[in-house]
Amino acid sequence: MEKSAGFWIRFLAYFIDGIIISVPSYIILFMINTVFVAGSVAANPYMTEEEYFVKYMTLAFFPTMLIMLVICVLYYGLLTASKMQGTLGKKILGLKVVNEQGGRVSVGQAIGRYFAYILSGIIFYIGFIMIAFGEKKGLHDIICKTRVVYK
């Protein structure tokens, strides 16, 4: 049986992934803000603050969040289910995600694991802190029946 990865190396992998994901995020946010919001302000320079806020939320914020969700689901889900068996951060650090039998996770399991990441962070990141104690499994690992091991 492969050795399970501990909290700090997994944290570092997640940190690396955060940097990788943030680059396209900021580019997309900048493009959306520039094109849609600036365009709407140019079309109506006398907008009230409330009108501007509604324009920003509908033309920039919500679309950006939706696009970022899709990017994250694809990044975390597809890379984890691929032959790489993990994200770029995990690959750099020599880790992989496996199912309970030690094999590759399915696409559904990998995408579910991303949404379970969100759940792991909801209450004071307790789902992630669980990795430091016990079986080196976070809430997202328990929910999706996965574990992170060294290659």
List pLDDT tens digits, range 74-106. Answer: 999 999 999 999 999 999 999 999 999 999 999
Q: What is the pLDDT of residues 116-142, one digit of tens each?
A: 999 999 988 999 999 999 889 999 999
- Nearest C-alpha neighbor of 143 from the set 103, 113, 108, 111: 113
Global confidence as pTM:
0.85
- Residue 145, classed as helix, strand or coil, is coil
Cβ-contact 11, 132 below 8 angstroms? no
